[in-house]
Structure 1
Amino acid sequence: MKEQILGVNVNTENYDELIPKLFANIDTKKKSLVVAINPEKLMKAKDDPALKALLNRAEFQIPDGIGVIIASKLRKGNIESRVTGVDMMDRIVREAAKTGKSIFLYGAKPGVAEAAARKLTDTYPNLQVAGTLDGYEQDTQKVLNAINEAKPEILFVAMGSPKQELWIEQHRDNLYPTLYQGVGGSFDVLAGNIKRAPAAFQKVGAEWLYRLILEPSRLKRQMNLPKFLFEIIRQNK
């Protein structure tokens, strides 16, 4: 199920409801792209028809951001809980380890994908990592060849959004994997280069506040949240 927020489709399901759908698509070889939807991205998409179309072409749009939950409640929608990009990646990896599906990590700085893969295999010893590749390889065909030769069912791409989604959309018809997710800085989180907010902040959807405390320079970006909620209220009048 999906609902629209500022013209962008957003899935209403939680992790436990989404995972079986994602893996059913893998089993039937139906290619799927997972994109994370947050207020900052929605505000950009409001003024960027190409970005809005890109987000809406994805098969799964997960509600990553407390502002999306608030917007749904204000519109009497059905999105009840956040589905964050990094946690969705973890859920996919956990299920992949259970079901024998292999993963490939592409993107980030040299060494980061490898470190993230080691962390994942430490956590999930049965996980099959088909390969890793940093985001600094300039020869696109080499990248495609490396992924196709590894034959993973699942590809995680860490380039930042929307670059990663554009890359996936451009190349997925020529790639072996079935399930794709753009994961932004998740490799750095897994590798320990970026610290996630403490659990208490995560639980109440206030990771943005924790990051703002650590990096006051993010204030301009975080102003998107009140602007977003004001736009939602304005449209609901």
Structure 2
Amino acid sequence: MKENILGVDVCHDTYDELAAKLMEDINQRNTSFIVAINPEKIMKAQEDEELRTLLNKATYQIPDGIGVILASKLRKGKIRERVTGIDMMMKLCETATVEGKRIFLYGAKPGIAREAKVKLEEKFPGIQIVGVLDGYEKDKQVIETTINESKADIVFVALGSPAQENWILANKDHLYPSVYQGVGGSFDVISGRLNRAPEVFQRFGLEWLYRLIKEPWRLKRQLALPKFLLKALKG
């Protein structure tokens, strides 16, 4: 089930429901694509038809942002649980470990994907991370060959948005893996290069507030949230 918020589709599924669907996609050799949806992306999509089309082409649009949950409630929708990009990645890593699925890490600066691989192997003993490739590799043939030869089932793509989503759409149909997720700066967080908001901020969906405290220059971007909620209510 999906809900449409200002022209952008958003899934109702929980972490467990999505993980189960994605494992089934792998088992059935269906190609699927996960994109994280937040108020900023929805607002940008109002003026950028190409971005809106890109977001709606995903198989699963996860509600990554407390603003999306609030908008759904205002519109009497059914989205009640935030599904963040990094936590969806971790849930998939956990499930893939249990199910014996293979993972590939593509993107970020040189060395970071490899550091993230080490951290994931510590957290999930037995996880099969069958390849890593940094985002500075520009040879398309090298990228395609490396991913295909790994026989990975899942590829996490850390190229920043919307570059990672555009890459997934352009390449998923001729690559071996079944599941593709754009994960932004998640490799940096997992590797320990970048600190995530403390757990108390995460629990209440206040990571935006933590980032604002740490980076006051974000204030202008955060002021877009009330505009988004007002537009969602009217829409």
TM-score scaled to structure 2, two decimals? 0.98
| 1:87 and 2:83 correspond | no
Matches within 5 A, 1:113-124: 113-124=113-124
CA–CA distance in structure 2, aligned partners of residues 15 and 73 of structure 1: 19
Give the equivalent residue in structure 2 for 1:136.
136
Other structure's SS at 2:9 match: strand
Q: How many residues align?
A: 235
Q: Structure 1 residues 8-17 or 77-86, which shifts more?
A: 8-17
Deviation digits for residues 116-162 of structure 1 (CA, Å, limit 9, x no counterpart): 01000000111001100100011111111111111100000001111
CA-based RMSD:
0.7
Deviation digits for residues 32-51 of structure 1 (CA, Å, limit 9, x no counterpart): 00000000000011111111
Residue 224 of structure 1: CA displacement?
2.1
Give the equivalent residue in structure 1 for 2:56.
56
Give the equivalent residue in structure 1 for 2:197.
197
Residue 232 of structure 1: CA displacement?
1.2
Other structure's SS at 2:36 match: strand
Give the equivalent residue in structure 2 for 1:65.
65
TM-score scaled to structure 1, two decimals? 0.98
Give the equivalent residue in structure 1 for 2:109.
109
CA–CA distance in structure 2, aligned partners of residues 184 and 196 of structure 1: 13
CA–CA distance in structure 2, aligned partners of residues 224 and 189 of structure 1: 25
CA–CA distance in structure 2, aligned partners of residues 232 and 125 of structure 1: 43
CA–CA distance in structure 2, aligned partners of residues 234 and 161 of structure 1: 27
Other structure's SS at 1:9 match: strand
Give the equivalent residue in structure 2 for 1:20.
20
Give the equivalent residue in structure 2 for 1:186.
186
Give the equivalent residue in structure 1 for 2:207.
207
Deviation digits for residues 172-224 of structure 1 (CA, Å, limit 9, x no counterpart): 11111000000000000001111111111001100000011001111222222
Other structure's SS at 2:3 match: strand
Deviation digits for residues 83-102 of structure 1 (CA, Å, limit 9, x no counterpart): 00000000000000001101
- Which letter does structure 2 place at the counterpart of 1:2? K
Detail structure 1 runs of 4+ shifted over 4 Å in the superposition.
Answer: none
Residue 233 of structure 1: CA displacement?
2.3
Residue 231 of structure 1: CA displacement?
1.0
- Which letter does structure 2 place at the counterpart of 1:29? R
Residue 18 of structure 1: CA displacement?
1.3
- Which letter does structure 2 place at the counterpart of 1:163? A
CA–CA distance in structure 2, aligned partners of residues 85 and 194 of structure 1: 15
Residue 13 of structure 1: CA displacement?
1.3
Residue 16 of structure 1: CA displacement?
1.4
CA–CA distance in structure 2, aligned partners of residues 139 and 30 of structure 1: 27
CA–CA distance in structure 1, aligned partners of residues 138 and 13 of structure 2: 38
Residue 234 of structure 1: CA displacement?
2.6
Q: Structure 1 residues 217-226 or 199-208, which shifts more?
A: 217-226
CA–CA distance in structure 2, aligned partners of residues 84 and 209 of structure 1: 16
- Which letter does structure 1 place at the counterpart of 2:218? R
Other structure's SS at 2:120 match: helix
CA–CA distance in structure 2, aligned partners of residues 225 and 162 of structure 1: 20
Other structure's SS at 1:36 match: strand
CA–CA distance in structure 1, aligned partners of residues 56 and 71 of structure 2: 18
Could you list the runs of 5+ residues in structure 1 that have no partner in the other structure?
A: none
Q: Give the % identical residues.
A: 58
